[in-house]
Amino acid sequence: MSSTASSISARQLYTALFLICAALLAYALYTEHFQYLIPCALCMTQRFFYVCLGVAALTAALHNPGKIGRRAYVALMLLASAGGIGTAGRQVWLQHLPEDQVPACGPSLEYILDTLPLTEAFTTLMMGDGNCAEVQWTFLSLSMPTWSLIWFVVLGVAALASLKLR
């Protein structure tokens, strides 16, 4: 292991993971409230997974668990990361569909959560709709869901790597 990697503790990495999740969520809120980009159902679901991952990372940083506890926290972070990868991956897939194959726009997130049972609401959210296929923002030619997918992979790999740290 390199001297740089060995000088970073798991606690410091968990703190960094939390701060990254907080920064990503802050930017999402900035684009919503100041750039007026309306998040679709899949975008909101990705935010949920960032919150879950960030809370698990913050709890791990504060708790500073031993080997078994660290594995439990990493499992939670990997679960949140996997959910985010699946959700962002679905949205990236929708964005790359030919226009005639994009699903019709559906009801709002509030309507889905208010009227459907939780399991059915989750299934409906994961399906996405025409709103989810619209690209409203890009950076370096990549859409926000593509960046989100990249971040979920990076965060998951970092969480897994924390098992090797002191």
The domain segmentation of the chain, as residue ranges, is 3-164
**Residue 5 Ramachandran class (φ > 0 left, ψ -120 to 50 alpha, else beta):** alpha
Could you tell me the two tokens for 106? Answer: 């559906």
Tokens found for residue 98: 């030919």
- Give 122's pLDDT tier (boundaries 50, 70, 90): low
| DSSP class of 19 | H
Q: What is the pLDDT of residue 107?
A: 60
Top-confidence residue, 41 or 56 = 56
The whole-number pLDDT of residue 1 equals: 46
Task: Give 70's pLDDT tier (boundaries 50, 70, 90).
Answer: very high
Once rounded to an integer, what is the mean pLDDT over residues 119-130? 62
Q: How far is CA 75 from CA 67, 71, 128, 151, in A?
A: 12, 6, 26, 17
Model confidence at 64: pLDDT above 70 = yes
Superfamily of domain 3-164: DsbB-like (1.20.1550.10)
